C-alpha cells in the first residue's frame, strides 16, 4: 500500500487521481513519469478501487479442496484420461443375445471403467469423512444430540465404506483372500 503522507500536491491539476493520491513524497519514478506524461492533460475518473489483498484461506477450506483432489486421484482420473475406458462395460448374453452391462473390468488388477473408479473413490472418501466425524463428535463442546448424531453418522460411514470396499474388491478379483 502506498504510504499515506500529507497531501501536498494541490498544485497538480488533474490528479485528484485515485482515492489514495499522495505524490510529492513518493519516490516511485514510474509514478512520477506517469503523473507528467498522460495524466497532466488526461483526467482519470473517480473510482472506488482497492488493490486486492491476498489473504490466506483457512486450513479447513484448504482441507476441503484437498479432499476433493484426493477423491479424483484415487478414482483413477488419470487412468480415465489416458486410457479412455468406457464409462461402463457391456457383455452380450449368449443365450438371449441381450446386452448386459458389466460394472467391474474383470481380469486385471490395474484396469477400470470410469464409473467403478468413481464409486470406489467415493467409498474411500466416505470412510475418511466417517473418522473425521467421529473425532468431531468427541472434541467439541457442542450440544449432546449433535455429538451423538455426529458419532453415529461417523460410525455408520466407516462401516458402510469398509464393507462396500471389500465387496468391490471381491467382485473385481474373484481370487481375493483365498
Binders of another protein in range 117-136 (CB under 8 A)? 117, 120-121, 124-125, 127-132, 134-135
Q: State the Cα–Cα distance between residues 109 and 175, nearest whole angstrom.
A: 11
- Residue pointed to by grid coordinates 495524466: 39
Residue 81 as a binder of another protein (CB under 8 A): the answer is: yes
> Quick one: which of 78, 99, 103, 167 contacts another protein (CB under 8 A)?
78
Instruction: Using the minimum distance from each CB to another protein, give the nearer residue, 40 or 120.
Output: 120
Residue 174 as a binder of another protein (CB under 8 A): the answer is: no
Residue 146 as a binder of another protein (CB under 8 A): the answer is: no
**Three-state secondary structure string covering 12-57:** CCCCCCCCCCCCCCCCCHHHHHHHHCCCCCCCCCCCCCCCCCCCCC
Measured between alpha carbons, how far is residue 175 from residues 74, 116, 139, 171, 178 in Å? 23, 19, 42, 9, 6
Residue 56 as a binder of another protein (CB under 8 A): the answer is: yes
- Least distance in Å: CB of 22 to another protein? 10
Our measurement of the distance from residue 58's CA atom to the centroid of its chain's CA atoms, rounded to an integer in Å, reads 13
* Sequence-separated contacts (24+) of 103-106 with Cβ below 8 Å: 103/171, 104/168, 104/171, 104/172, 105/172, 106/172
- Least distance in Å: CB of 45 to another protein? 26
Q: Cell numbers at residue 75, please?
A: 478414482
Residue 1 as a binder of another protein (CB under 8 A): the answer is: yes
Residue 53 as a binder of another protein (CB under 8 A): the answer is: no
Residue 102 as a binder of another protein (CB under 8 A): the answer is: no
Contact 25, 8 (CB under 8 A): yes
The residues that touch another protein, with contacts defined as CB under 8 A, are 1, 3, 5, 27-28, 56, 59-60, 62-63, 66-67, 69-70, 73-79, 81-83, 109-112, 116-117, 120-121, 124-125, 127-132, 134-135, 138-141, 144, 147, 151, 155, 158, 161-162, 165, 168-169, 172-173, 175-177
Amino acid at each position: 500500500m502506498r504510504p499515506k503522507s500529507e497531501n501536498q500536491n494541490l498544485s497538480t491539476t488533474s490528479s485528484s487521481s485515485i482515492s489514495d493520491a499522495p505524490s510529492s513524497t513518493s519516490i516511485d519514478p514510474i509514478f512520477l513519469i506517469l503523473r507528467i506524461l498522460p495524466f497532466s492533460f488526461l483526467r482519470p475518473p473517480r473510482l472506488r478501487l482497492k488493490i486486492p489483498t491476498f489473504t490466506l484461506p483457512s486450513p479447513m477450506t484448504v482441507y476441503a479442496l484437498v479432499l476433493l483432489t484426493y477423491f479424483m486421484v484415487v478414482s483413477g482420473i488419470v487412468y480415465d484420461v489416458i486410457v479412455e475406458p468406457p464409462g461402463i462395460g457391456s457383455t452380450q448374453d449368449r443365450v438371449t443375445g441381450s446386452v448386459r452391462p458389466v460394472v467391474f473390468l474383470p481380469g486385471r488388477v490395474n484396469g477400470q471403467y470410469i464409473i467403478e473408479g468413481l464409486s470406489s473413490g467415493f467409498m474411500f472418501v466416505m470412510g475418511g469423512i466417517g473418522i473425521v466425524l467421529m473425532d468431531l463428535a468427541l472434541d467439541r463442546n457442542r450440544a449432546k444430540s449433535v455429538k451423538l448424531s455426529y458419532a453415529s453418522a461417523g460410525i455408520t460411514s466407516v462401516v458402510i465404506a469398509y464393507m462396500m470396499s471389500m465387496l468391490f474388491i471381491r467382485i473385481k478379483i474373484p481370487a481375493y483372500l483365498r
